[in-house]
Amino acid sequence: MPTVVHLHGGRTPAASDGYPTDLVLPRGWAAPATPHGSGHGSGHGSGHGSGHGMHDPRAVVTEVTRDYTFPLDQRPTLLWYHDHRMDFTAPAIWRGLAGLHLVRDDAEEALGLPAGPRELPLMIADRAFAADGALAYPALDPALRERPGVREPYLAGALGDVILVNGAPWPVHEVDAAPLPLRVLNASNARHYELEAVGDDGRRLDLVQVGADQGLLAAPVTHRLLPIAPAERYDLIVDFSGVPVGGRVRLLNRLGSGRTRDVMAFRVARKAADGSRVPATLSTDLPDWRRSDAVRVRDFAFRTGHLHSGRGWLIGGLPFDPARTDVTARLGDVEVWRLIADVHHPVHLHLVGFRVLSRSGRPPLPHDAGLKDTVSLRPGEAVEIITRFDGYRGRYLFHCHNAEHEDMGMMANLEIT
C-alpha cells in the first residue's frame, strides 16, 4: 500500500510532517484506471500514480523508501506516529500502522516523579475481528486502492468490539504496590473513553494527571473519571500502594457497554518501597498566551455535509482539497481559533501545541489543562483555543482525528509563511 508517516504532536519540518499526498509508493504501484467516485472536491480527476484520484501539484512522492527528519526541538512528552495516507488513513491505522514515540529530557527526569522501570505506556485501541481472526474493517474498497470511505452504517466512525491495550485484548498487568506512571494514548479510530480505575472493593483510585498531549502540566490535576478522545494522551500516576497484594484494579471505560466497558486490569503482585513523589509544581515553561496577544480570531465549524457523491464531514462547509489553502498564518503570530462541532470531533493541529481557553463560553474542563495538540469537541460545543504558530514554515494540516471523519473530508490546510 502507499503510506506516509506523521509523527503526531511532533514539531517537524513540513517536508517530514507526513502530508497526506507525500506518499511512499510500493514498487510498481500504478494509478487506478478510473478515479474513485466519492470525491472530496474540485481537486479530483488526475492522480500522481498514487492510487487515488486527488490531484495535488505539490505532492512529493517517492518509491519504496523515504527519509524523515525529526528534530524533536520541543517539550518532552508522549507522541505517536501513524499513517496519514490521503483518503485511507483510517484503515491503515486499524491494520496497525501506529506506534508510540517518547521524547524525554533531563529536566523532566530530575523532577523525581515516579518513573524508571515501572513506567507503563498504554496504547488503547478498539478493533473488530472476523470469525477467522482477521481484522474486520468496513471499507468500501477492501483493497484500499480506489474508493475511500466506509459503509454507510459506519460513517460516524468504525467501532470495534474488542479493546486492545498495546496490541493485546483486555490484558492483565502485574504491578508493585506503589505509584505507577501510566502514559496513555487513545489510538482508536473513533471510540471515546471515560476512564476510571476501580478496585475489588468497588472503590475508585485517583488518576493523578501530570502531563497532557504536549508534556508536563504546571501542577498535578486529580481525576476520578478521565475522558480521552482519539489521539489524546495523558500522563497519569496511579498509586497502588493501598491495594493489598493479590488485589485487582480494573481500568474501565464508562462510555462502553458489555465487553467494551473493560479496558484492562492490574494485579498487585508484591509490596515495594518507593521514594518517588508528585511535586506540587511540575513545570514553569508552559506558554501563557493571552487573548490580547492574538492578531486574529478564526471560526471553524466541524459538521456533516454532502460530498459530491454522498455524505461526509466538512470544515467550514468544505471537504478537504490539498490544492486549496484554507488558512495562511504568519510564523510567530498568536491566533485564537473558535471550533464548533455538530457531533463529537477531536480536533488536531499539526506542528503546534495550544491551550484551551473556553468551552461554550465557560472555563475549560480539568482535563483541558496544559499544552494540547488535540481537543475533544463535544456535540454542539464551541471550543476556543489559542496558539502561536512557531517552529517551521510550510504546509501543514488541521483535521478531525476521528479517522473515518478525516478520510471522508474533515481536514484543512494550514500554510505557515
Does 405 bind Cu ion (CB under 5 A)? Our answer is yes
Site string for Cu ion, 290-329 (x = CB under 5 A): ----------------------------------------
- Most distant CA pair in the chain: distance in Å? 65
Nearer to Cu ion, 192 or 233 (CB): 192
Between 100 and 382, name the residue whose CB sits nearer to Cu ion.
382
Tell me the three cell numbers of residue 80: 505517536
SS (H, E, C) 352-364: CCEEEEEECCECC
Indicate which single residue of 1, 400, 412, 416 sits in contact with Cu ion (rule: CB under 5 A): 400
Q: Which stretch binds Cu ion (CB under 5 A): 60-68, 171-179, 227-235, 395-403?
A: 395-403
Dist CA 16 CA 350 (whole Å): 12
Among 402, 413, 414, 416, binds Cu ion (CB under 5 A): 402
Q: Which is nearer to Cu ion, 55 or 405 (CB)?
A: 405
- 381's CB contacts (< 8 A; 6+ apart) are 340, 341, 359, 360
Stretch that binds Cu ion, among 160-168, 182-190, 345-353, 376-384 (CB under 5 A): 345-353
Q: Which stretch binds Cu ion (CB under 5 A): 170-178, 291-299, 324-332, 339-347?
A: 339-347
Q: How far is the CB of 1 from Cu ion (least distance, A)?
A: 23
Selected range binding Cu ion among 31-39, 59-67, 378-386, 398-406, rule: CB under 5 A:
398-406
Phi, then psi, of 407 in degrees rounded to 5? -70, -25
CA-derived radius of gyration, the chain: 21
In the complex, what is the shortest distance from the CB of residue 344 to Cu ion, in angstroms, rounded to a whole number?
7
Contact 54, 2 (CB under 8 A): no
d(CA 262, CA 195): 10
Closer Cβ to Cu ion, 12 or 402, answer by number: 402
Q: Which is nearer to Cu ion, 243 or 403 (CB)?
A: 403
Grid cell for residue 121: 505506556
Give whichever of 205 and 411 is closer to Cu ion, judged by the CB atom. Answer: 411
Whether the CB-CB separation of 410 and 320 falls below 8 Å is answered with yes
DSSP 379: T
Torsion of CA 185, 189, 192, 196, to 10 degrees: -40
Please report, as a single letter, which amino acid is at residue 17.
D
- CA atoms within a 13 Å half-sphere pointing along the CA-CB vector of 276: 23
What minimum distance in Å lies between the beta carbon of 329 and Cu ion? Answer: 22
The residue behind cell 465557560 is: 362
- Interface segment toward Cu ion; rule CB under 5 A; list 322-330, 348-356, 378-386, 393-401: 393-401
Choose between 347 and 352: whose C-beta lies nearer to Cu ion. Answer: 347
Q: How far is the CB of 300 from Cu ion (least distance, A)?
A: 12
Helix (H, G, I), strand (E, B) or coil at 210: strand
Q: Which is nearer to Cu ion, 24 or 377 (CB)?
A: 377
Contact region with Cu ion (CB under 5 A), list: 113-121, 148-156, 290-298, 341-349: 341-349
Task: Tell me how far, at minimum, the Cβ of 397 lies from Cu ion, in Å.
Answer: 14
- For residue 91, the minimal CB distance to Cu ion (Å) is 17
Q: Which of residues 135-154 bind Cu ion (CB under 5 A)?
A: none
Give, as one character, the DSSP assignment of residue 115.
-
Is 345 a residue that touches Cu ion (CB under 5 A)? yes
Q: Grid coordinates in use for 413?
A: 490546510
How far apart CA 117 and CA 120 sit, in angstroms, is 8
The window from 188-196, 248-256, 319-327, 400-408 that contacts Cu ion (CB under 5 A) reads: 400-408
Rounded Cα–Cα distance for residues 209 and 339 (Å): 25
Size of the site for Cu ion (CB under 5 A): 4
Applying CB under 5 A, does 403 fall inside the site for Cu ion?
no
Distance (Å, rounded) from C-alpha 39 to C-alpha 87?
A: 10
**Cβ atoms of residues 114 and 179 within 8 Å:** yes
Q: Which is nearer to Cu ion, 388 or 405 (CB)?
A: 405
Question: Rounded to the nearest whole angstrom, what is the least distance from the CB of residue 302 to Cu ion in the complex?
Answer: 6
User: Do 115 and 276 meet the contact criterion of CB atoms below 8 Å apart?
Assistant: yes
| Cβ distance to Cu ion smaller for residue 283 or 413 | 413
Find the shortest distance in angstroms from Cβ 192 to Cu ion: 11
Residues in the chain: 417
Considering the complex, what minimum distance in angstroms separates the CB of residue 400 from Cu ion? 3
d(CA 317, CA 410): 10
Where does this chain bind Cu ion (CB under 5 A)? 345, 400, 402, 405
